[in-house]
Amino acid sequence: MLMIGVLVSGRGSNLQAMIDAIEAGKLKAQVAVVISNVPGVMALERAKKHGIKAVVVNDREFSDKSSYEKEIIRALESNSVDLVCLAGYMKLISPEFVRHFKGRMMNIHPALLPAFPGLHVQKKALEHGVKYSGATVHFVDEGCDTGPIIIQAAVPVLDDDTEETLSARILEQEHKIYPEAIRLYAEGKLKIEGRRVKIGK
């Protein structure tokens, strides 16, 4: 059984999508622990509602990033986590953290990477006049949203779209492709070759 650790900072809708896929029998995995750097967020409540261990590691309570991340690593390892999933986790990961979980950490991004990494991506997409945006699940590397791409889903950009309407339609796709990427990982079907992720049958 694949044991997942989920890092969150907010509402946790992608966490909920993972939980729903597991409970529906579509994903053979278990969320072992949910870790938030922000106390009191909805993601923690979602975890508790489903009987999942919920932990707060408040970055503001640590003197430096290294000691903060060491505590997160300790929490992940003490819960026997195989795969780390970032789900709305609003902290940059250090190279040391990435190396510790190399090939075992995923993120979801609300754009078709490599276009529009970072923040405010729907605003950037609308300003650039793109005809399609979407979502990307990728392995985490030492850059910002630069890791090998696992799955993408395209979403048409409508003439009357706002940041809010585009974000909402992209989020629907995020909830589909993130559990699917985890399923492929759990079944041993993902192979990283340089910048490419090959999906086996």
Q: Catalytic residue among 50, 100, 109, 175, which? A: 109
| Residue 47 confidence (pLDDT) above 90 | yes
The full DSSP string for 136-173 is EEEE--SSSS-SPEEEEEEEEPPTT--HHHHHHHHHHH
Segment 173-189, tens digit of pLDDT: 999 999 999 999 999 99
Active site residue 109: yes
Looking at residues 113-139, what average pLDDT do you find? 97
| Residue 12 confidence (pLDDT) above 90 | yes
Express as a percent the part of the chain with pLDDT over 90.
Answer: 100
* pLDDT at 88 (0 to 100): 95
> What is the location of CATH 3.40.50.170 in the chain?
1-101, 108-201
Q: Which CATH architecture has domain 1-101?
A: 3-Layer(aba) Sandwich (3.40)
- CATH code of the region 108-201: 3.40.50.170
Segment 60-110, tens digit of pLDDT: 999 999 999 999 999 999 999 999 999 999 999 999 999 999 999 999 999
Tell if the pTM clears 0.85, that is, is over it.
yes
| Run of H or E including 123 | helix 121-128
| Run of H or E including 185 | helix 163-186
Say how far apart CA 13 and CA 87 lie, in whole Å.
Answer: 8
